[in-house]
Structure 1
């Protein structure tokens, strides 16, 4: 009976995590039905090339003054690489198609965890925002989306601030990849800002980076996977 219960819990955990990281990110050209060479937009080939360029790379490697990718730094990179001046709205459309952007807390949970997340928002989240205000800190919601339409596959790891600002990186997924330490540190920046990071069910606690500076505070969003991993 005990083995059966453990197996059932593992199955639920696996399903919940697939729901969390599966997302709905897709190559934007495919999502919009864009025709190759359409004026003022990237062709599908250019978009796939852009995704490959972004894999594991950060803006400072391209002499851009950003720790992580933002809409502004991505706009500059597209201009330089493809000689294509896209406006902020067009670049924002790509980011939304990749599954990036503000989401309600309940949208970061599987169906089994929605009630727990809603209770957490009422009981725990206000204390996080108060602590952030006291330390002049930023609050970010961290999650992961698997991009469809790329080969090899790509994961987009994003942090969305409480003000709606998106910062992200693209990686090639491995089996149960941990939350990248470099990503977390870069959210604090060279100024070593205090940040409060709310981590969704994409990563259980044992996949979080360890021995982080005290200025970086991680908070788990309730999830089935976290309950099993604890």
Structure 2
């Protein structure tokens, strides 16, 4: 199954505002507010500066409320979702695309989803280049990542597998994901609308071996009650 059609209302966004150094971000906010205060629209200011209209609106409101202090980035206290590069609509599209099938069925050179595969999908769809750490923030926001990180004392060939319940930004638990993470944080996952069967679990293991070009040992970390039995060779944590 291929990814859903990209809506016309989703345009190309610019990555970078939320990843800029503090002084550069302060200057960007000043330029955006100055442009709006001079009389141009927030949408036009956003286009000129390569940021989202929502970001410009937030900056203008903060300036009118707090004055000069609003320009200086805060290290703590940012509201969830504030200054995100991707819009809610873009994020919902991405979750649907990821769940619709593995990356190789969508023209990407990967058998399972990885940070790089998701970054490539975002770039192809929206023209936005995101770093791996930013992709992680979105995957966590959508519920793909397991609550527990990889175990640093695991052998190199061991991946901890979790069955998670991601969903669109506005919802939760609408789909299923198999997420494998090793001790170095290397991430591979598969997502689907329906609960996984034993056959799907076996294919996931096979794709992981093919993607890594080596055998891997899978140890289950988080698993829902009443789910499919583990395939031969998978180990359950005690």
Closer, same or farther in 2 for the Cα pair 1:68/1:32, shift >3 Å? farther
> TM-score scaled to structure 2, two decimals?
0.55
Provide, for residues 23-73 of structure 1, a one-character-per-residue CA deviation record: whole Å limited to 9, x for no partner: xxxxxxxx96325xx5x6111111111111111411111232222111011
- Establish whether residue 62 from structure 1 lines up as the match of residue 81 from structure 2: no
> TM-score scaled to structure 1, two decimals?
0.56
Cα distance in 1 for partners of 2:173, 2:158 equals 32
Mapped contact 1:199–1:218 kept (Cα < 8 A): yes
- Structure with bigger gyration radius: 2
Helix, strand or coil at the partner of 1:68: coil
| Structure 1: runs of 5 or more not aligned | 1-30, 106-120, 130-136, 223-230
Q: Which residue of 2 aligns with 1:169?
A: 190
**How much does 1:103 deviate?**
2.4
Helix, strand or coil at the partner of 1:164: coil
Q: Which residue of 2 aligns with 1:20?
A: none
- Establish whether residue 95 from structure 1 lines up as the match of residue 133 from structure 2: no
- Aligned with 1:84 (options 117, 125, 128): 128
Q: Which residue of 1 aligns with 2:81?
A: 34
Q: Which residue of 2 aligns with 1:133?
A: none
Higher relative contact order (CA 8 A, sep 6+): 1
Stretches (4+) displaced over 4 A:
176-179, 203-206
Provide, for residues 168-203 of structure 1, a one-character-per-residue CA deviation record: whole Å limited to 9, x for no partner: 1221144x8556222121111167521100013515
Mapped contact 2:165–2:173 kept (Cα < 8 A): no
Provide, for residues 89-114 of structure 1, a one-character-per-residue CA deviation record: whole Å limited to 9, x for no partner: 21121123225168258xxxxxxxxx
CA RMSD across the alignment: 3.4
Cα distance in 1 for partners of 2:110, 2:236 equals 26
Cα distance in 2 for partners of 1:158, 1:32 equals 28
